[in-house]
Structure 1
Amino acid sequence: MNGTNLVKCAKRCLSGRLLPLYSVQGSRGAAAAAERRGARQSDSFVLNLFRGRFETAQVFPYPEPLSDDQRQTLQELVPPVEKFFEEVNDPAKNDANAQIEEATLSGLWELGAFGLQVPGELGGLGLSNTQYARLVEVVGAHDLGVGITLGAHQSIGFKGILLFGTAEQKAHYLPRVTGGEYAAFCLTEPSSGSDAGSIKTRAVLSPDGDHFILNGSKIWISNGGIAEIMTVFAQTPIEKDGKTVDKVTAFIVERSFGGVSSGPPENKMGIKCSNTAEVYFEDVRVPTRCVLGGIGNGFKVAMNILNNGRFGMAAALAGTQRAALRQAAEHAATRTQFGKRLAEFGGVREKLADMAMLQYVTESLAYMVSGNMDAGCQDYHLEAAISKVFASDSAWKVVDEAIQILGGMGYMKATGLERVLRDLRIFRIFEGTNDILRLFVALTGIQFAGSHLQELQRAFKNPTAHLGLIFSEAGRRAAGAVGLARGPELAPLVAPALRPAAAELGRAALHFGRCVEGALLKYGRGIVDEQFVLNRLAAAAMDAYTAAVVVARASRAARLALPAAEHELRLAEAWAERALARAPALLAAARDAAPLRQHARLARLGADVAAAAGQPTRNPLGL
């Protein structure tokens, strides 16, 4: 389990150099540097949303990333994996024993489940991100504890070697992590959860320059007690501008190096069968050849590993939701009360519809992000973060409602849903808490918008040289102000039934951009501390992106005349209407006086509770 300091990173960028425009004391050097750089361009839907632009490149049409060969490979892989989880793996026994049965682990190694994306020549199956998502979805439908063991091993444990390893590192380690040796990702420490930059573990180069001496400890490490090969992050001294400073570096560390030990397995609320333990490093001699991604580049390595793997959580939780929905629907179709089947009651139908919508959105996000990654897109980090946040929030709601539909039966262990609910709780916490990721989405989007606003201001300093930029931006703003702004032409890409939703998306994007610009003008650099505003902007961005994704997916279903196309269109229409209806209220809350007063009131109440170490009031009896 690992957190990140994504917010601190975004804050540094915003307050340090990318928003001098809105600071009374903005540095001329920073402004000059920004002018030389110019505004970064991107095809990211979410990044452009913060500019008020409706960018379709990574959303419409919905991705079709599988070649015929890749599809054939999946057709051969999925049935045996499903059969394995239905006939061999016992999730209840894994949970009760707090460890995965040996037969299950042996079978997973034989299936190649621990090396899904490792190239075939190095011992793996060489799957694409989309293929990986489909198999992870199967695992998520059956046993999330086993899923964490698999994911901690390959989604983050040795993912850094895949992404940043040298040819020699890949050749040495990848056959081992596909051949029976477990991997782990060691970032979190007692004093640094979400703030990964504050880690205390240190690695100092030996006098002969041959190796680093590593000392420190990590906590809550998935696979920490069983991993032989670990990606470990430590502070290393480097020379910068004539001074020695500490910067994080990533290392490949083997338990066999000596000095590596681990504590007993943690006793957890859920995912009990996955191994979670503290890991200790005492004078570990790490060869210099085991530096991963370069000295001082550890933060970049960590963020890329986590960003690259988040879609896998969405895929797994799409499977979890699909399984819970099936269980609830089967019960509602057969259980009779008051002379009717539960499925005949309007309240139960509404619950099932909500569950189906959340599952559909989660699944659509997972395959949208994985498809974009397979297509070579570089800017998918905000979309991946949204997929993780939405999936983990939605899975909790879907499984909770499944228990509610089953009633007392759902509360019993034998049904299995109480175990799933316990397993789910960690997904909103680890690999970047949902609270942190929402702020990351907002701050990164604002950073992107701010750079473009700076570019526009610079253009006005020399208008004759930048007439094209000035007139295009002025025209866009004028059209928006009088309600004449038009988004991209989506008619060929969107099913007729969803064209009103697509048009509303375009209008929402324009409104969103104006709100972001207003927030920048109002708060300047101080926006980094306005979490009430940032959270509302993030929520509105998530609603807009999820609406766009389901409109794209359902339009694909209609175009291909898929068997459930009409159902998909209804799901997409219902979700888009709900999500886009929330956006104006969210944006108003980030701007208008009354919601901001309420936020100030709540902030004071929260401070009072913290100061009193609990509720300051006594009970009404005074006893």
Structure 2
Amino acid sequence: MTIVDRTVRPSYTKSLFAGRIASELVFPYPGMTAAEKARVETVSASAREVLAGYDPLKAEREGWIGDDLVRELGERGLMGLFVSEEYGGLGLGQSAYCRVYEEFGRVDGTLATVMGVHQSIGTKPLHLYGTDDQKARWLPDLASGRKLAAFVLTEPNVGSDAYALETRAERQADGSWVLNGEKRWIGNGDKDVLTVFAQSDLGHVALIVEKGTEGLSTGPRFETHGLKANHLQRVRFTDVRVPAENLLGEPGDGFRIAVNTLNNGRMSMGTAIAGGMKRFLELSLEHTEARHQFGRPLADFEMVGDKLAWMTRQIYGIESMSYLTTGLVDRGDTDFALESAMTKVAASDTGWYALNRAVQLHGGEAYMADHPLSKALRDFRIFPIFEGANDVLRAFVALNGLKTLSEELPDVASLSIGDPGRALGVLAPYVAGRVQRRLRPERPVGVHPALAKQAAELGEQVSRLRERTEGALRKHGKKVQEKQLVQKRLADAASGIYAQTAVLSRASTALQEARADSEAERHLAVGFCQQSAREVGRRLRALEVNDDRQTADLATATRASGGYSFSL
């Protein structure tokens, strides 16, 4: 029986909410040895060779990426990138896996999704929590592409609130399980190896169910707006008997297995989107250099240049966040849940904005159905929704940060205003610490001197984040759990600070190594940090100056009237 690790590990982002910068977790920027880089390039080149013949529009028309493609990818080990070599995979770490995964995102969002469903979340539970016997039984076929995997969590009445599963697993006297319930929107739901999450009298469980098991049925397939080559299925369980040896972890571990799997999977989405953004930029440069209007290339115009520069800066930021986060995973001694969530939110939101800018630069040409940007529009809109809706992930980040700080604050809720002496005695050490933080905010350790100004500004932002987080706790108390606009601002501010941290760490390494383009990278990093710092400032100011009450009143009135009720 594999034990699900419950070790409490340090978290960089949680420390930010408490006003601390855990520099040792993020400096220096995680890198690879020459041998690791060479291997990643070899695997990436292999992927590019296979994908050179892939036609995204044909896959969209036919509703599948093609069994021949799956077979060829499997023969090259590309269907089991992180699966250990013992079971036929390539045994890549998280950073290496995500670098190769970028190649799929660059070519086609649907292809990246199918690969992610199979590897990032489908195969991952077995890889992380399977026993040796379970791994030997299923991983070789999954790594070779002979079989495909699915992650079976979402239900008709259960989406973001995954804890409230309605699918039931009843344990039998012989240790087996009988499974009943319905799932929906399951990628690869009609394929071979399904990791199914269900509620039981012993807590949540994760069970492996194989295609063809009696009582398992799938379909009809969902027709979707985009990602049309991804098999999205209904899956039903009617008295499905699952052998005892198909249980992952122990009874009660199911929810933790699901969450930890998604935490891992979100990182590959971030790097796939980064790959897609690079392709959007390439297409935009090609078009704006070749297309002339008013006697000049479109690229000569300032508003065009502004969009190109914005995309370059944002790609650098998303890439830096993504690979700092994968580096945390590869370290193996940190809690990366919040960083994974923030990276997914930032990548999916920014990727969508980048796509819209690329479409704008192409004009009507990109609106034609067979243009690659038109297909990307169909595919990309789902990314802020699946593998954790972005608003839910923002709440997850903020509530974890609020909890972290609340555990460090003195208990003042029971203090009487009429007893100022007692209050002073409890609060004096805390107030002194707050004053000290205001006078001398922490700065990240390890930043190159050429980025000292940005490091100082980062420290100021961390100090303000802590103050605003405390202010929210003291103003709203336990009701802060319901204040989602507060949570959104705190989460976005923390995400911006983390993005700047990643950029400063990466650029500092480039400068310290005196790379040929390190000065250009420094300028890029400074520009990103300046833009991000302004946005963080706006988020933090909005915690004190906002129109939340009017917004809430208007929402209530709109619901009461059933819509827009004003006439001319």
Alignment TM-score, normalising by the size of structure 1: 0.85
2:451 is matched with which residue? Answer: 498
Q: Please name the residue that 1:353 is paired with.
A: 309
Distance in 2 (CA, whole Å) between partners of 1:560 and 1:327 is 32
CA drift at 1:496: 3.4
Change (3 A) 1:97 1:611: farther
Equivalences, count: 550
Distance in 2 separating the partners of 1:362 and 1:407: 26
Instruction: Give the structure 2 partner of residue 267 of structure 1.
Output: 223
The alignment status of 1:61 with 2:28, answered yes or no, reads: yes
Contact 1:54 1:488 survives alignment (8 Å): yes
Q: Are residues 1:78 and 2:44 paired? A: yes
**1:71-117 deviations in Å (ceiling 9; x for gaps):** 2211221112112212x211111112222133322222222221111
Displacement of 1:584? 2.8
The one-letter code matched in structure 2 to 1:235 is Q
Structure 2 residue matching 1:215: 3-state secondary structure: strand
Aligned to 1:190: 156
**Aligned-pair distance for 1:175?**
1.5
Residue of structure 2 aligned with 1:603, choices 531, 544, 552? 552
Q: Deviations over 1:46-95 (max 9, x none)?
A: 1111111122122222112x234322211221112112212x21111111
CA distance in structure 2 between the partners assigned to 1:513 and 1:546 by the alignment: 17
Shift of 1:387: 0.5
Alignment of 1:181-260 (within 5 A): 181-206=147-172, 208-225=173-190, 227-238=191-202, 247-260=203-216
**Could you say what secondary structure the match of 1:614 adopts?**
coil
User: What's the secondary structure of 2:70's corresponding residue?
Assistant: helix
Tell me how far 1:178 sits from its aligned partner: 1.8
Is the Cα–Cα contact under 8 Å of residues 186 and 235 in structure 2 kept in the other structure?
Answer: yes
Q: CA deviation at 1:297?
A: 1.7
Task: Identify which of 356, 375, 400 aligns with 1:400.
Answer: 356
Structure 1 residue 417: deviation in Å?
Answer: 0.4
Higher RCO (CA < 8 A, seq sep 6+): 1
Counterpart Cα distance in 1 of 2:197 and 2:444: 47
- Matched-pair contact (CA < 8 Å) for 1:157–1:185: yes
Q: Tell me the residue number matched to 2:465.
A: 512
Give the letter aligned to residue 366 of structure 2: G
1:524 — aligned with what? 477
1:573 Cα offset (Å): 0.8
Matched, 1:342 2:307: no
- Mark the runs of 5 or more structure 2 residues left unpaired by the alignment: 1-6, 415-425
Structure 2 residue identity aligned to 1:95: E
Tell me what 1:300 maps to. 256
User: Is the deviation greater in 137-146 or in 105-114?
Assistant: 105-114
Is 1:309 paired with 2:274? no
Code of the residue aligned with 1:539 in structure 2: it is: D
1:442 to 384, 398, 406: 398
Counterpart CA distance in 2 for 1:583 and 1:41 is 29
- Separation (CA, whole Å) in 2 of partners of 1:155 and 1:110: 19
Question: In the aligned structure 1, how far is the partner of 2:27 from the partner of 2:252?
Answer: 38
Unaligned 5+ runs, structure 1:
1-39, 239-246, 459-468
Give the structure 2 partner of residue 104 of structure 1: 69
| 1:263, distance to aligned residue in structure 2 (A) | 0.3
- Which of 38, 47, 51 is matched with 2:18 structurally? 51
Query: CA separation in 1, counterparts of 2:115 and 2:412?
Result: 48
The 3-state SS of whatever aligns with 1:237 is coil
Matched, 1:167 2:122: no
What amino acid is the match of 1:198?
A
Compute the displacement of 1:478 (Å): 2.3
Q: Deviations over 1:553-576 (max 9, x none)?
A: 122222223343233222211111
Q: CA deviation at 1:474?
A: 5.5
Whether 1:382 aligns to 2:347 is no
1:410 positional shift: 1.8
Change (3 A) 1:489 1:572: closer
Deviates more, 1:295-304 or 1:565-574: 565-574
What's the Cα RMSD here? 2.1
Structure 2 counterparts to residues 449-488 of structure 1, below 5 A: 449-454=405-410, 475-481=432-438, 484-488=439-443
Work out whether 1:152 is the aligned partner of 2:108: no
Q: Which moved more, 1:329-338 or 1:366-375?
A: 329-338
Counterpart residue number, 1:93: 58
**1:613: Cα distance to partner?**
3.6
**Which whole-Å CA distance do the structure 1 matches of 2:122 and 2:193 have between them?**
8
Q: Distance in 2 between matches of 1:130 and 1:41?
A: 23
Q: Distance in 1 between matches of 2:522 and 2:287?
A: 26
What is the CA–CA distance in structure 1 between the aligned matches of 2:492 and 2:246, rounded to whole Å? 41
Residues 331-362 of structure 1: CA distance to partner in whole angstroms, max 9, x if unpaired? 22222111111111111111111111111111
- In structure 2, distance between residues paired with 1:198 and 1:553: 40
Q: Deviations over 1:304-344 (max 9, x none)?
A: 11112211111100000001001101222222111111111
Encode CA deviations 1:273-306: one digit per residue, 9 max, x unaligned: 0110101111111011111121122111111111
Amino acid at match of 2:566: T
Query: Does the 8 A contact of 2:129 with 2:249 survive in 1?
Result: yes
SS in 1 for 2:332: coil
Q: Does residue 616 in structure 1 map to residue 559 in structure 2?
A: no
In structure 2, the residue matched to 1:291 is: 247
Using the size of structure 2 for normalisation, the TM-score is: 0.93
1:539 has 2:495 as partner: no
Identity of aligned residues (%): 37
Indicate yes or no: 2:369 matched with 1:413. yes
